Amino acid sequence: MSLAGGYLSTYRGLSSRVWILALVCLVNRVGSMVITFLSLYVANEMGADVEVVGRVLTAHGAGAVVGVTAGGALVDKLGAKRIMVASLTSNAVGFALISRINDVHWLMAAMFTLAAFGEAVRPANTAALAGAARAEDLGRSFGLMQLAVNLGVSIGAGVGGLLAAVSYTALFYVDAVAALAGALLAAFFVRDAQQTPRAAKTGTEASRPSGMALLIGGQVIVSALLIQMFTTAPLYHNTVNGFSERRVGMLVVVNTLIIAFLQVPVAARLAHKRALRVIATGLIGFAGGYLLLPFTARYSMAVVAMIVLTLGELVIFPALNTHVASTAPPGETGRYMGMTFAAHASGRLLAPLIGTLVYQRLGPIYLWWGCAVVGLLLALAYVLAENGDRRSGHGAHLGQSA
């Protein structure tokens, strides 16, 4: 079998509903290029210093916590489709209006509001996916979703880097059009359905401190580490290493193209591995990438650092999402996904605030070293938790459907 044929066979058998949801996700992520370049926009276009950049990013993160928490709860009551359409429509309106804001304080308020409404699409989309996928296809379906996310970010970063070099304002309008396209796709092609029944178990990972509590709490830290890749790292490459917006955007393209080509094959290869150990392995990749960042004055080394960071990201998030979806009680997938996305959004909230503060007060090198140390310590915590689960006869593999 050819390489392409083997790659495509990984997706074979997934339902059309899963593919439609992945397409909605793809379009939504293409329309998120403003977020990728927000730190550069605030610093270069609005003339703000690094700490002000951090406050704007934190405002967006705070709104995201509200959006994913409320969105996850509303999905179980109103249905995923309604939440997706409403959230994406609000993004379309919000991006168009924000393009006209020139004051940084109004921008902070606007970014909070945009995220509070717009981020509700995330738990809605993943809850709908959990309901649309067959139990045995859950891991592959989340792999496809992660592929859609990263392809969307890749396209958005590539196009966004070109647009930012000409006009940052254009980013907002292109994002607004993409969000509207996603809303129309969801309105006409997505349908709500009962989630695929999965047996509930007593004493599952979702009910034990080493399971859901570690996944939720750990994801705050994991997300904070990830977000540095797209907030302080671009700032570092632009202001310290002297890379242009186009070259910074191409680093994001490197990240997302690697995931696009390797996400599903790697997910299939890891299907029988234990979830917590897979997450720990990804965190070691994060640590390695951050240890390389101080040595990225040459663009080739910046590419190497991004590759190492990406390999960590590649395995962490499908493992987290699959594990949570497979252990959520019946009828509560939306709420549980909302909890995990709230944890992710909390990391996004803390990351720019702490990251820019350390960056400004101590210097970027201390930030990169700190990220590496935190990643290694969290990896150790996951390994210890997984060993405890194994001794007690609990724990899950990524291929399990609970």
pLDDT tens for the chain, 402 residues long, are 455 555 556 677 788 899 999 999 999 988 888 887 888 888 888 888 878 888 888 888 889 889 888 888 888 888 899 999 999 999 999 999 998 888 999 999 999 999 999 999 988 998 888 788 777 777 678 778 877 887 887 788 778 888 887 888 888 999 999 999 999 999 998 887 654 444 444 444 444 544 566 767 888 899 899 989 888 999 899 989 999 888 988 898 888 788 777 876 777 777 677 777 888 899 999 999 999 999 999 999 999 999 999 999 888 877 776 667 666 666 666 677 777 778 877 887 788 788 988 998 999 999 999 999 999 999 998 888 777 766 655 555 555 443
Q: Which one, of 142, 149, 129, 206, lies nearest residue 399 by Cα?
A: 142
Contacts of 167 (CB under 8 A, 6+ apart): none
C-beta neighbour count of 395 within 10 angstroms: 22
Give CA torsion, residues 144, 17, 204, 198, to 10 deg: -140
User: Are the beta carbons of 402 and 204 closer than 8 angstroms?
Assistant: yes
Q: What does the DSSP 8-state code read for residue 397?
A: B
Could you give the residue ranges of the DSSP H alpha helices within 229-332?
Answer: 232-239, 245-269, 275-292, 299-327
Report the alpha-carbon distance of residue 206 to residue 302 in Å, rounded: 38
User: Are the beta carbons of 201 and 211 closer than 8 angstroms?
Assistant: no
Q: Which one, of 333, 73, 72, lies nearest residue 197 by Cα?
A: 333
The pLDDT, as a whole number, for residue 84 is 95
Q: Residue 5, by phi and psi: left (phi above 0), alpha (psi -120 to 50) or beta?
A: alpha
Largest Cα–Cα distance of the chain, in whole Å?
59
Residue bearing tokens 């190492």: 308
Q: What does the DSSP 8-state code read for residue 329?
A: P
Pick the CATH number of 16-192+202-392 from 1.20.1250.20, 3.40.190.10, 1.25.40.10, 3.40.50.1100: 1.20.1250.20
Contacts of 1 (CB under 8 A, 6+ apart): 9
Q: Burial level of 54, CB count in 10 A (0-12/13-18/19+)?
A: buried
Residue bearing tokens 């803390």: 350
User: Are the beta carbons of 198 and 324 closer than 8 angstroms?
Assistant: no
The pLDDT, as a whole number, for residue 36 is 76
